[in-house]
């Protein structure tokens, strides 16, 4: 119940703030922002309290592995978006996400090894992500309904997935858990209203933000059982913020994204 309430309150706030950040500093920053574990970290905390540190550590390892599926979504969406509209790109990203997640569910590896694979995959996907040239044009004035619509769509997705979870069962619900919900909403809206290059910039920002995301859950997986809930979450947060600061520096000193009004 606490996790559901957190999602329903945090979802529209986070999407609104990320959208405003995208208007001020460019689409990539909005993607980077939602790469932070805003909802998954509190959910992991409630899970540790309710189910114990051993269970939460295993769940943290699974969540970290799900970063690979998110990277697959980003690459598939970006490749398809170069030639197709957002519906085809979104469906292609979802298909790759589902395939990658199913494969990952069949593998059992130590947390450190999974983390190494995650870092390798993120690096390769960022390297292979299409780089579309920036259009030399005036800033785009987005419609007034843009941000409210993003907030409604994202919150609706959360309600839908939460409502049908009992019917789907624990296994299928677990497969859907790492889906990049916030980032996909931001990407689709940016793609539809500003063009494919804006959507790809959101995904590039997300991929850089996922380094901190993966680091957070690696530290949890390693420290929850021996260190306890408080020290593990404190160390995980410190490590994630450190990586997030580095990724933000790389993002701001790379290709600059244009702003919108």
Q: What is the pLDDT of residue 126?
A: 93
Does 137 map to a domain? no
- In the chain, the percentage of residues whose pLDDT exceeds 70 is 78
Does 259 map to a domain? no
Lowest-confidence range among 2-11, 60-69, 109-118, 147-156? 2-11
Q: Average pLDDT, stretch 5-24? A: 71
pLDDT digits (tens, 9 = 90+) for 188-228: 988 998 889 989 999 999 999 899 999 999 999 999 999 99
Does 260 map to a domain? no
Under 8 Å between Cβ of 9 and 237: no
Q: Look at residue 170 and tell me whether its pLDDT is greater than 50.
A: no
Q: What is the pLDDT of residue 59?
A: 83
How many C-beta atoms surround the C-beta of residue 175 within 10 A?
A: 19
- Pick the residue with more confidence: 137 or 18? 18
Does 257 map to a domain? no
Does 61 map to a domain? yes
Axis crossing angle, helix 196-227 with helix 40-51, rounded to the nearest 10? 20
State the residue range of the domain holding 86. 2-131+144-252
Structurally, the chain folds into a number of domains equal to 1
Does 115 map to a domain? yes
Does 87 map to a domain? yes
* DSSP state letter for 36: S
Cα–Cα distance for residue pair 144/6, rounded to 1 Å = 27
Q: Average pLDDT, stretch 52-60? A: 85
Does 95 map to a domain? yes
Alpha helices in the chain (DSSP H): 2-25, 27-33, 40-51, 53-81, 86-105, 111-128, 146-176, 181-194, 196-227, 229-252
């Amino acid at each position: 119940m606490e996790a559901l309430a957190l999602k329903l309150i945090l979802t529209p706030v986070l999407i609104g703030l990320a959208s405003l950040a995208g208007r001020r500093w460019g689409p990539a920053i909005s993607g980077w922002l939602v790469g932070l574990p805003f909802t998954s970290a509190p959910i992991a905390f409630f899970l540790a309290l309710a189910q114990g540190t051993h269970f939460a550590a295993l769940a943290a390892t699974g969540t970290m592995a799900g970063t690979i599926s998110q990277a697959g979504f980003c690459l598939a969406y970006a490749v398809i978006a170069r030639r197709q509209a957002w519906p085809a790109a979104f469906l292609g990203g979802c298909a790759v996400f589902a395939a990658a997640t199913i494969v990952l569910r069949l593998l059992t590896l130590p947390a450190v090894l999974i983390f190494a694979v995650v870092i390798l995959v993120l690096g390769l996907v960022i390297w292979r992500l299409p780089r579309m040239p920036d259009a030399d044009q005036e800033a785009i004035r987005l419609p007034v309904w843009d941000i409210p619509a993003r907030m409604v769509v994202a919150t609706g997705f959360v309600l839908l997935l939460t409502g049908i979870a009992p019917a789907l069962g624990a296994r299928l619900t677990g497969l859907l858990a790492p889906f990049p919900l916030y980032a996909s909403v931001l990407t689709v809206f940016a793609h539809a209203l500003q063009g494919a290059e804006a959507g790809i910039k959101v995904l590039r920002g997300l991929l850089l933000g996922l380094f901190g995301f993966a680091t957070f859950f690696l530290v949890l997986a390693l420290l929850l059982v021996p260190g306890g809930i408080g020290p593990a979450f404190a160390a995980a947060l410190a490590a994630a913020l450190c990586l997030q600061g580095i990724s933000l520096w790389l993002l701001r000193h790379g290709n600059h994204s244009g702003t919108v009004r």
